[in-house]
Amino acid sequence: MVERTGIRYHEAELHRLLGELFLGRAEERADACFRRALKIARQQHAKSWELRAAVSLARLWKSQGRRGEARELLAPVYGWFTEGFGTADLKNAKDLLDELA
């Protein structure tokens, strides 16, 4: 649908959600989807979508024992925000960062 309409606002989130569907069954595909979501969000300067993708990828890496990489990925994205710390996305990111500390 994104290709057909050319409306790409939610494209990063669509890739992230696809990655979530692959979790537990095809982690390499989930990883690829999360990375694609990150790339798209960064190209669009969509910080909220970038945060969600970073949280998803960091959670996957944490489950794979890649805690340091997960923290290195997530910390700068979380650090970009200056407000909205009461939102669910930022609370989830903070909780994950605390777990990775």
Cα-flanking dihedrals φ and ψ of residue 64, to 5°?
-95, 5
CATH code assigned at 16: 1.25.40.10
Q: Encode pLDDT of 54-95 as tens digits.
A: 999 999 999 999 999 999 999 999 999 999 999 999 999 999
Number of domains in the chain: 1
CB within 8 Å of 8: residues ≥ 6 apart:
2, 40, 44
Q: Encode pLDDT of 1-45 as tens digits.
A: 666 666 667 899 999 999 999 999 999 999 999 999 999 999 999
User: What is the extent of the structural domain holding 66?
Assistant: 2-100
Can you tell me whether residue 23 is helix, strand or coil? coil
Element (H, E) at 22: helix 11-22
- Check: CB of residue 54 under 8 Å from CB of residue 77: yes
* DSSP code at position 24: T
Kindly report whether the global pTM for this prediction surpasses the value 0.75: yes
